[in-house]
């Protein structure tokens, strides 16, 4: 059970009547009470042959019917082989019912017919059954005679209808869920997100749970009719589509026929015999009798020839497939060889062009970017070879001093280091012959 607080109907078979099932209702953890009864047609009645019928009525008064379903399937005669026909002793087998894709639920007070159409998904293989119910089922009370003569809103095509769909939980599951999928007005459907309405759980005691929190979103006037449709629809889908059997349509309602039936010792003295087949009255055949030495039909030879033909066809298809695989492998190998040759040719062209550029321009002067511009270093130690440096930009002339520059001592820190007025301005870094070539000669220290 999903939740004991939700309205739940439990299907239980009656111990006194095999054709009767009682639906017990429980909610909010209360004790189950009999609410409805499911009544099936008696297979012994002549009018019940080749039919499926079930009705939902009151639990106490079985004559009060709320809704019923009647299905009359099409019958097909199965095709039998010669060996199967001999096993049947020439008696034609019973017909096989063809399960219809749709069925109708007949409601009473007010009378209304709900069509349930089944479909199967070609992609997932899941089955579903769809039906519609009108939003308005009862005529508005009115004292006007004109209003009373109007058509019933159920039969009007302009009455909005709510669409529902029973969906199987999975391809191999026995449980179902009913969803509200949208609305329909005049044949034009509008799809909405699925809203869970009811859940059917199959077990030794099947149950149907109404998902009450979502019932407020169902705008239907006939809530009782929706309840009857859910109960009857779930039971019919279970018996006809999920677990179909020949007994459901009472195909075996005709007089039963036993295989290998023989007369009883009491009836053997009687001159009359019961015909159970074409060879039913013949005595047991002896080993040397012509009945036992019947020629074997050529069906085995045909089967063997067909088997050989199919084997030859399969072998031919395998040879063709292997041939196609070999051709595909050759094509791929040839394509890879061509790509490898093309890559080698491009590599040779690149190597040839590189060698030509090396011979034309050489390898000298190929530096990786300009070197950083560093100031010259002054050191009292032995001179070390320096890397060539670029000449810094010319500095502005230093300001002139009022006194002549002294020729020694530390007076330069107080009287300025600029040149005399008569002397021309000089750069801070004296430039030599080597400086004109982009090199700066190391300057001697003034104080040491």
- Secondary structure (DSSP) of 178-241: EEEEEEEETTEEEEEEEEEEEEEE-SSS-EEEE-GGGGGG---S-HHHHHHHHHHHHHHIIIII
- Asked if residue 235 lies in contact with residue 225, where contact means CB atoms within 8 angstroms, the answer is no
For residue 367, pLDDT over 70 is answered with no
For residue 372, pLDDT over 70 is answered with no
Q: What pTM, to 2 d.p., does this model score?
A: 0.54
Mean pLDDT of 368-386: 57
For residue 414, pLDDT over 50 is answered with no
The Cβ of residue 63 has, within 10 Å, a number of other Cβ atoms equal to 7
Question: Which percentage of the chain shows pLDDT scores above 70?
Answer: 68
For residue 431, pLDDT over 90 is answered with no
- Asked if residue 133 lies in contact with residue 162, where contact means CB atoms within 8 angstroms, the answer is yes
Could you read off the pLDDT of 102-132 as tens digits, one per residue?
A: 999 999 988 899 999 998 877 777 889 999 9
Instruction: Match 């440096």 to its residue by tokens.
Output: 389
Q: How many CA atoms lie within 13 A of 16 on its CB side?
A: 1
Query: DSSP readout, 34-45?
Result: EEEEEEE--TTS
Could you read off the pLDDT of 131-176 as tens digits, one per residue?
A: 999 988 887 777 777 766 776 777 777 789 999 999 988 888 889 9
Residue 351 per-residue DSSP state: H
Q: Which helix (H) or strand (E) holds 334?
A: helix 299-361
**pLDDT at res. 102:** 92
- Mean pLDDT, the chain, whole residue set: 76
For residue 337, pLDDT over 60 is answered with yes
Mean pLDDT of 368-391: 56
Residue 168 to residue 119: CA distance in whole angstroms: 11
Could you read off the pLDDT of 1-52 as tens digits, one per residue?
A: 568 889 999 999 988 888 899 999 999 889 999 999 999 988 888 888 888 9
For residue 296, pLDDT over 50 is answered with no
End-to-end alpha-carbon separation of the chain, Å? 106
Residue 327 to residue 315: CA distance in whole angstroms: 18
- Asked if residue 292 lies in contact with residue 88, where contact means CB atoms within 8 angstroms, the answer is no
**pLDDT at res. 121:** 77
Mean pLDDT of 398-427: 48
Helix count and strand count (H, E) for the chain = 7, 14
Could you read off the pLDDT of 340-362 as tens digits, one per residue?
A: 999 999 999 999 999 999 888 87
Residue 62 per-residue DSSP state: T
Range from 60-74, 281-295, 402-416 carrying the lowest mean pLDDT: 281-295
- Asked if the bond preceding 110 is cis, omega within 30° of 0, the reply is yes
Question: Exposed, middle or buried: residue 66 (CB in 10 Å: 0-12, 13-18, 19+)?
Answer: buried
């Amino acid at each position: 059970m999903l939740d004991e607080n939700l309205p739940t109907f439990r299907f239980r078979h009656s111990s006194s009547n095999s054709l009767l099932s009682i639906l017990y209702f429980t909610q909010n953890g209360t004790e189950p009470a009999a609410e409805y009864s499911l009544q099936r047609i008696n297979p012994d009645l002549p009018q019940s042959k080749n039919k499926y019928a079930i009705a939902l009525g009151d639990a106490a008064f079985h004559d009060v019917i709320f809704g019923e379903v009647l299905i009359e399937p099409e019958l097909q005669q199965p095709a039998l082989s010669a060996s199967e026909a001999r096993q049947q002793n020439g008696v034609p087998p019973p017909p096989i019912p063809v399960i219809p894709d749709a069925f109708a639920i007949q409601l009473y007070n007010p009378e209304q017919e709900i069509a349930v159409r089944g479909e199967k998904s070609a992609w997932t293989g899941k089955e579903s059954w769809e039906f519609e119910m009108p939003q308005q089922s009862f005529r508005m009370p009115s004292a006007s005679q004109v209003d009373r003569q109007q058509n019933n809103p159920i039969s009007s095509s302009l009455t909005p209808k709510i669409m529902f769909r029973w969906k199987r939980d999975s391809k191999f599951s026995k449980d179902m869920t009913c969803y509200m999928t949208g609305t329909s007005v005049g044949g034009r459907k509008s799809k909405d997100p699925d809203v869970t309405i009811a859940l059917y759980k199959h077990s030794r005691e099947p149950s149907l749970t109404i998902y009450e929190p979502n019932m407020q979103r169902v705008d239907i006037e006939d809530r009782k009719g929706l309840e009857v449709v859910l109960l009857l629809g779930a039971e019919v889908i279970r018996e006809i589509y999920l677990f179909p059997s020949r007994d459901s349509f009472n195909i075996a309602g005709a007089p039963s026929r036993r295989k290998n039936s023989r007369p009883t010792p009491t009836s053997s003295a009687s001159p009359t015999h019961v015909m159970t087949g074409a060879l039913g009255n013949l005595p047991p055949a002896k080993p040397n009798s012509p009945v036992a030495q019947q020629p074997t039909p050529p069906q085995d030879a045909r089967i063997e020839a067909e088997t050989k033909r199919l084997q030859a066809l399969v072998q031919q298809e395998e040879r063709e497939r292997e041939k196609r695989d070999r051709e595909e492998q050759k094509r791929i190998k040839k394509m890879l060889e061509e790509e490898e040759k093309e890559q080698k040719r491009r590599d040779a062209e690149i190597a040839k062009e590189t060698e030509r550029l090396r011979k034309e321009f050489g390898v000298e002067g190929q530096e990786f970017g300009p070197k950083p511009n560093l100031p010259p270093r002054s050191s009292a130690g032995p001179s070390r070879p320096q890397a060539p440096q670029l000449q810094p930009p010319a500095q502005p002339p230093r300001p002139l001093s009022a006194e002549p520059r002294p020729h020694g001592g530390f007076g330069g820190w107080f009287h300025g280091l600029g040149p005399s007025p008569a002397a021309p301005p000089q750069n801070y870094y004296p430039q030599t012959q080597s400086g004109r070539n982009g090199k700066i000669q190391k300057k001697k220290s003034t104080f040491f």
